[in-house]
Amino acid sequence: MIKFVSYEFDKGISFGALKDDIIIDLSDVAQNLRDLLVRGPLDRLIDIVENRSEGIDFNKVIFHQVIPNASRIICVGKNYKDHAVEMGGSVPKNINLFIRTSQSLVGHKQSLIKSKVSSHYDYEGELAVIIGKGGRHIREKDAIKHIAGYSCLLDGSMRDFQSHSITAGKNFDSSGSFGPWLMPSVYITDPQNLNIITRINGGVVQSCSTKNMIFPIKRIIAYVSSFTFLNPGDIISTGTPDGVGYGRNPPLWLKDGDLVEVEIDKVGTLLNYIKTEI
């Protein structure tokens, strides 16, 4: 099983294929992972990776977000019924979208920053879809063919700011995370049958299956492509299930030193510690 990662080692930021516990550098094939997706399907690299023996121990690298230079990170709001209810709203009849910036995300094992101007730092574990084949007006029946792979995304949210501006609340620098890797779609036959678990300091706070999405992935892709051309390397984060801190009594906010994990079946586990802004 081969996964794709963006990482930093002694020669700087690069990307490669993770095979077992070894990263095979692929910087001679493309400039970065996004560029690699633009050049064509990932399966063409299997022979290249299999024929390379030298690599880097993945425990010795710094992980970056999977697509560090993503042009668009499109997020779906309230895509699980119970989450829509816990947020105090009705179940949406239409797909609701917002945008995150790359600057708002960090990679696996990097520190998430709790802002000193917000006291309501919340967590949302989500399945992220990475587009591999671009397109406009993509039909639902063809949508899955446009996916290069999947990853985990923590949609960190400053609820006190989100209450008056969703753009601000969702885009504090280094407030969310994306990783640990891109799991190629060939290994995931049914993305609508994956369990998502979010943990804080080892305790489960979210647990749900992607089968409970209000709007399935194929419909989301078709909808987004109805108004904009989807490009290779674009990211769609498909929404979070119930169990967020805002919906609890009393609310559960992230604090300095907390360990947050987002685990998704067949995809991986994204791990980050919380660090208060200096």
DSSP state letters, 140-205? GGGGGGGEEEEEEEE--EEHHHHTT-HHHHT--TT-EEEEEEEEEGGG-S-TTS-EEEEEETTEEE
Let me know whether 200 and 97 are in one domain. yes
Let me know whether 164 and 36 are in one domain. no
- First-to-last alpha carbon distance for the chain, in angstroms, is 41
Structural domain contains residue 68: no
Let me know whether 27 and 83 are in one domain. no
Structural domain contains residue 128: yes
* Cα dihedral 222, 186, 150, 125 sign: positive
Let me know whether 85 and 44 are in one domain. no
Split into its structural domains, the chain has a count of 2
Let me know whether 53 and 109 are in one domain. no
103, HSE (Cβ side, Cα atoms, 13 Å): 5
Let me know whether 101 and 179 are in one domain. yes
Q: What is the pLDDT of residue 12?
A: 87
Let me know whether 195 and 82 are in one domain. yes
Q: What is the pLDDT of residue 207?
A: 99
Q: Please tell me the distance from the alpha carbon of residue 46 to that of residue 24, in angstroms, as a whole number.
A: 11
Q: What is the pLDDT of residue 160?
A: 97
Q: What is the pLDDT of residue 131?
A: 99
Q: What is the pLDDT of residue 10?
A: 86
Q: What is the pLDDT of residue 46?
A: 81
Of 39, 63, 87, the last residue of a domain is 63
Structural domain contains residue 6: yes
- Is there a contact between 158 and 115 (Cβ–Cβ < 8 Å)? yes
Let me know whether 255 and 160 are in one domain. yes
Let me know whether 52 and 23 are in one domain. yes
Q: Which of 277, 217, 263, 267 has the alpha carbon at shortest distance from 123?
A: 263
- Is there a contact between 74 and 130 (Cβ–Cβ < 8 Å)? no
Residues in the chain with pLDDT values less than 50: none
Of 16, 45, 63, the last residue of a domain is 63
Dihedral pair phi/psi, residue 10, rounded to 5° = -65, -20
Q: What is the pLDDT of residue 44?
A: 86
Range of the domain at 202: 73-276
Q: What is the pTM of this model?
A: 0.97
> Residue type for 114, please?
K
